[in-house]
């Protein structure tokens, strides 16, 4: 249970989750219907063989939103529609009008949906009740907001908003590459993206690059600003922080993962619990470093 990307939302630390368990049952994932394109709901974080729809370690809560999507490619529908239109034209001597074509397409979708393959999905979320932060394992703001909406459906009220900073993240990231002191524990990685702030300006992407090199300095001198920056927290976590405050390529390093070797995980549930404890602990350490540096805004109660 290790996140790969993190999209962050802030909510008041006074949040009451007393009704959560009952709400999760009401909002549990149900099978997608024969005429539905998709469905969403909560599934057990520990996998389909588990029963609990949440897992908690101290002030850290693990929730998982599952989904079922019917795969009905538009190209397939359009091809079959074209064949039907040709048959009608050959039989009646004229093409069907727009309203009839729409009805034909709707009929095709209803005919094909029950036979379409169903693709399952899951998106994990870490709800830190102490920090008032919901971290969703995705780099997509839309997916993150969908998960937050599901939590809101389960709780009845979940005033979580996308994380914001009181200062421009781009200026902070640019300053770190330009030589300004990084927060304690943080060091530069070997990846960054720089953009010219002008409309349709140049974009430079660097990988496996010494970010303190003269080449990077010349890009900064030309006015480019850093929009994505690879960073390392001690020897525990590596990640790429964007100016949209999304954490990408999140990875726990040996310094953190080695801690799992000292846990006594006799079964899969115990191992998942240990992984969640490690993940939530390292996330909290990372957030504690980034929050004062970027001046994250707090949610109002």
pLDDT for the residue 92: 86
**What is residue 263's predicted lDDT score, i.e. its pLDDT?**
59
Whole-number Å distance between alpha carbons of 75 and 57: 46
Residue 173 is predicted with a pLDDT of 95
pLDDT attached to residue 270: 85
Can you tell me the mean pLDDT for 201-209?
A: 90
The CB density around residue 40, as the number of other CB atoms within 10 Å, is 21
Higher-confidence residue of 212 and 3: namely 3
- Per-residue confidence (pLDDT) for residue 111, from 0 to 100: 87
12 pLDDT higher than 70 = yes
pLDDT for the residue numbered 266 = 63
The mean pLDDT value for 198-204 works out to 85
Question: 187 in helix, strand or coil?
Answer: strand
Alpha helices (H) along the chain: 20-26, 74-92, 98-112, 141-155, 169-178, 214-221, 254-257, 268-294
Q: Check pLDDT > 60 for residue 265.
A: no
Q: What is the mean pLDDT of the chain?
A: 91
Mean pLDDT of 183-190: 94
How does residue 287 score in pLDDT terms, banded at 50, 70 and 90? very high
Contact 48, 96 (CB under 8 A): no
Q: Report the range of poorest mean pLDDT among 59-68, 86-95, 277-286.
A: 86-95
pLDDT tier at 188, thresholds 50, 70, 90: very high
CA distance 255 to 237: 8
Average pLDDT over residues 44-60: 92
How much of the chain, in percent, has pLDDT values that exceed 90?
Answer: 64
Query: Which burial class, exposed, middle or buried, applies to 131 when counting CB atoms under 10 A from its CB (0-12, 13-18, 19+)?
Result: buried
| pLDDT value of residue 181 | 93
Lowest mean pLDDT among 89-93, 137-141, 241-245, 249-253: 89-93
pLDDT given for residue 259 in this prediction: 73
| 280 pLDDT tier (thresholds 50, 70, 90) | very high
Expressed in percent and rounded to 5, the helix, strand and coil fractions of the chain are 40, 25, 35
Is residue 42 within 8 A of residue 64, CB to CB? The reply is: yes
> What average pLDDT score do residues 68-92 get?
89
Summarize the confidence of residues 151-170 as an average pLDDT.
94
pLDDT of residue 54: 95
In tens, the pLDDT along 99-114 reads 888 999 988 888 888 9
- pLDDT band of 231, cuts 50, 70, 90: very high
């Amino acid at each position: 249970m290790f996140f790969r990307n993190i999209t962050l939302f802030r909510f008041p630390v006074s949040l009451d989750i007393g009704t959560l368990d009952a709400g999760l049952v009401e909002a549990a994932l149900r099978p997608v219907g024969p005429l539905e394109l998709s469905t969403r709901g909560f599934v057990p974080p520990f996998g389909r063989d588990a029963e609990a729809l949440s897992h908690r370690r101290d002030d850290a809560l693990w929730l998982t939103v599952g989904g079922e999507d019917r795969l009905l490619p538009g190209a397939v529908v359009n091809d079959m529609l074209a064949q039907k239109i040709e048959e009608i034209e050959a039989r009646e001597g004229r093409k069907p009008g727009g309203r009839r074509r729409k009805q034909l397409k709707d009929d095709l979708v209803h005919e094909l949906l029950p036979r379409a393959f169903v693709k399952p999905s899951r998106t994990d979320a870490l709800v830190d009740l102490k920090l008032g932060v919901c971290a969703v394992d995705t780099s997509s703001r839309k997916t993150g907001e969908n998960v937050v909406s599901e939590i809101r459906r389960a709780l009845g009220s979940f005033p979580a908003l996308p994380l914001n900073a009181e200062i421009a993240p781009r200026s902070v990231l640019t300053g770190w590459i330009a030589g300004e002191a990084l927060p304690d524990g943080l060091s530069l990685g070997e990846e960054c993206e720089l953009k010219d702030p002008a409309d349709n300006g140049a974009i430079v992407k660097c990988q496996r690059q010494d970010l303190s090199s003269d080449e990077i300095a010349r890009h900064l001198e030309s006015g480019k600003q850093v929009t994505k920056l690879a960073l390392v927290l001690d020897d525990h976590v590596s990640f790429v922080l964007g100016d949209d405050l999304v954490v990408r390529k999140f990875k726990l390093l040996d310094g953190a993962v080695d801690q799992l070797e000292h846990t006594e995980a006799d079964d899969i549930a115990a191992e998942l619990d240990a992984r969640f404890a490690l993940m939530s602990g390292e996330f909290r350490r990372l957030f504690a470093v980034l929050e004062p540096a970027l001046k994250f805004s707090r949610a109002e109660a």
